[in-house]
Chains A and B, each alone.
Chain A
Amino acid sequence: MEDIKNKIIEILNEIIPDVSNETLESNKELVHSGVLNSFSIVMLISELSDAFDIEISPQEIVYENFDSLDGLTKMVARLSD
């Protein structure tokens, strides 16, 4: 789980480099607050799919999975099983 989380942080640092790791790890509302927008979400989906060799279906692209680092980590863990 920790490995997955660190890899996701690494990817997010690439996509939204101006957002600090503290903000990411505080589990704030990443989508609701606009930290992740439509553009960065598309990049994130493609990076996550490549890095973890998973397929993220549209039903997975919801607030529950994308609004926080924890949500992202859990989704990736579940899909990589």
Chain B
Amino acid sequence: MKNIVELLNRNALENKNDLALQDEDGFLTYGELFDLVLQRASFIKDLGLVNSPIIVKVSRFKESIVNFLAVLLSNNHYIPVDEDIPLEKLNKIIKASKAEYVISTKEDDSGLKVIDFANVKNVYPFEEFSKDFNEKNYSFIMFTSGSTGDPKGVIKNHKNIISFVENYVSTFPFLGQERIANQTPFFFDASAKDIYLSLKLKAALFIPSKTRFSLPMETIKYLNENKITYISWVPSILTMIAKTRTLNFVKPESLKYVFFVGEVFQPKYLNMWIEALPNVRYFNIYGSTEVMGVSLYYEIKKHFDGESIPTGKALKNNNVYLADGEIIVNSDQVAVGYLNNPESKTFEYSNGKTLLHTGDFANYDAEQNIVFASRKDYQIKHLGYRIELQEIEASLINLDYISQCCAVYDENSDKIVLFVSLNKDIEEANRKILIDAKEKLQFYMVPNKVIVLDELPLNTNGKIDRLNLKRGYQDGRY
């Protein structure tokens, strides 16, 4: 296999009438999905694009996945972004990627050339594309939070995706033609697992609307109505369902596998799931944007008594170990590298292999499981999203009325707290800062609380005293 879309071709031949995608608007079988992808890829081909980046604005509709696969089939690569991305951030991504084209379901104000599939003329056979497939070709570039304030592009190729799906199903051989409900948005790296695993398993991928996750009873109702068997969700959602004691009243009846990823899951909430649904299998999985999919996993088989759930052991064909406490990943799933930043020390290239220095520090437990301990920088996980606190600061310091700012994360309350000092008097400063922050930052990076101080405290190095501010917030001094 040289291009992950070969799996779609296989499914369309072998399982033409099986359900492929279902969203709140309707469904597509594998046969229908293939036809649509072929039409759109043909249209892209007629534009003369090859090995080019194409920005795809995504929503929670099957359209997004059709567009991803069409870009891949046409031997181009996609850059997924939220359809509501602030223009300022989008412009940075356009500049970094030199993308000229966008596929958008909404009116587009980016100034890019819009690919509009309304008038597809030619449809080429699959072979017309497959003759140029190459596993080294880029598949997608995922932009993630960067500490300088500019988003960082992580490049993946087809080999990364192909290795991931193969390693995943050989690690979890019990997975079959599952009914998978997606939760992580398609502009977020974790969602790629759902999409490509579905192709590999010939599974049906369900895309519930965002509001299905707002009310826990609605979430469970959705799982039951669609007989969902597999979920790979961020712990925030699973925590909310547990915390509200929803599982005491209604249970997901068809669910067989719960994978959780992206952030720490507090054992007490996982235990509530295990008690309510003892026959479900639970897996903690560990990855990062710099790896396609995940590279570590840990199965929790019964009530968990420890303090933190291990990230566990390496997936098949992954070599994961600790060097000076840092998690290092060596496998074909490790991304190609950062866009425009070949000097980064995160990726180490030696003997034709790429080692990933994750920046995550960990220990081994008695059973040789890797257990995550801390980050080496100010990267946090909030609602499952990866955020550099410095990116928040770098974006907001540009507001002309702010003289100092510092973002801290309070794990106890799951809140991003922004401390600021102002250079002029502003009415309702807290509210104004939050409104301005929404213009500049994606929703999950917007601080949950703003605290205005006359001046921010400095440490002995003359830098803003982050630790003091965080402790001060936690013990109620601020």
Contacts and interface: CB of A to CB of B under 8 A. Distances in A.
B244 interface: yes
B211 A45 contact: no
Nearest to B245: A58
Contact of A63 (B215, B216, B240): B215
B244 A39 contact: no
Contacts of B240: 38-39, 41-42
B147 interface: no
B303 interface: no
Interface in A30-81: 31-32, 34, 36-39, 41-42, 45, 56-59, 61-63, 66
Contacts of A38: 213-215, 236-237, 240
Contacts of A59: 217, 249
A48 to B, nearest CB: 12
Query: Interface residues of B: mostly helix, strand, loop or mixed?
Result: helix
Interface stretch (B34-42, B149-157, B224-232, B431-439): B431-439
B250 to A, nearest CB: 8
Contact of A17 (B213, B214, B450): B450
Contacts of A18: 431, 434-435, 438, 446
B414 interface: yes
Contacts of A45: 244
A24 B278 CA distance: 41
B435 to A, nearest CB: 5
A13 B158 CA distance: 47
B211 A34 contact: yes
Given A17-B430, A38-B236, A38-B240, A57 B215 contact: no
A32 B211 CA distance: 6
Q: Which of A17, A34, A56, A62 has the most CB of B within 10 A?
A: A17
B246 interface: yes
Query: Interface residues of A: mostly helix, strand, loop or mixed?
Result: loop
Given A17-B430, A17-B431, A41 B450 contact: no
A31 to B, nearest CB: 5
A18 B245 CA distance: 29
A61 B249 CA distance: 12
Q: Which of A17, A38, A45, A63 has the most CB of B within 10 A?
A: A38
Contact of A39 (B211, B236, B430): B236
B243 interface: yes
Contact of A41 (B215, B383, B414, B438): B215
B217 A61 contact: yes
A14 to B, nearest CB: 8
B214 A58 contact: no
Interface residues of A, number: 20
B12 to A, nearest CB: 36
Contact of A31 (B211, B248, B430, B435): B211
B210 interface: yes
Contacts of A66: 215
Contacts of A61: 215-217, 244, 246
Given A17-B450, A61-B215, A61-B217, A42 B210 contact: no
Nearest to A13: B431
B340 to A, nearest CB: 33
Interface in B198-239: 210-211, 213-218, 236-237
Nearest to B213: A38
A22 B430 CA distance: 17
A39 B160 CA distance: 33
Contacts of A42: 240, 243-244
B266 to A, nearest CB: 13
Nearest to B415: A43
A63 B214 CA distance: 10
A41 to B, nearest CB: 6
A69 B397 CA distance: 35
Contacts of B438: 18
Contacts of B236: 38-39
Contacts of A41: 214-215, 240
Contacts of B218: 62-63
Interface string B372-412: 00000000000100000000000000000000000000000
Nearest to A37: B214
8 contacts: A17-B434, A31-B215, A32-B211, A39-B383, A58-B249, A59-B217, A61-B246, A63-B218
Interface of A: 17-18, 31-32, 34, 36-39, 41-42, 45, 56-59, 61-63, 66
Interface of B: 210-211, 213-218, 236-237, 240, 243-246, 248-250, 383, 414, 430-431, 434-435, 438, 446, 449-450
Given A31-B211, A63-B218, 5 more contacts: A18-B431, A56-B244, A58-B217, A58-B250, A61-B217
Query: Which 3 A-B pairs rank lowest in CB-CB distance, beginning with the nearest?
Result: A18-B434, A58-B246, A38-B213
